[in-house]
Amino acid sequence: MTQAELKEFLDEKVAYYNHPRFIESDPIQIPHQFDRKQDIEIIGFLVATIAWGNRKSIITNGNRLVKIMGNSPFDFVMNYSETDSEHLSHFVHRTFNHIDLHYFFLALQNVYTNHGGLERVFAQNATPNSTQPAIHALKKVFFSLPHDTRTEKHISDPLKNSAAKRINMFLRWMVRDAKAGVDFGVWKSITPSQLSCPLDVHSGNVARKLKLLSRKQNDGKALNELDAALRKLDAIDPVKYDFALFGLGAFEKF
pLDDT tens-digit series, residues 209-248: 999 999 999 999 999 999 999 999 999 999 999 999 999 9
State the Cα–Cα distance between residues 126 and 133, nearest whole angstrom.
6
User: Contact 162/219 with Cβ under 8 angstroms?
Assistant: yes
**Can you give the pLDDT at residue 253?**
86
Written as one letter, the residue type at 224 is: N
Whole-model pTM: value is: 0.96
State the Cα–Cα distance between residues 4 and 247, nearest whole angstrom.
20
pLDDT at position 65 over 90: yes
State the Cα–Cα distance between residues 107 and 113, nearest whole angstrom.
10
pLDDT at position 67 over 90: yes
pLDDT at position 87 over 90: no
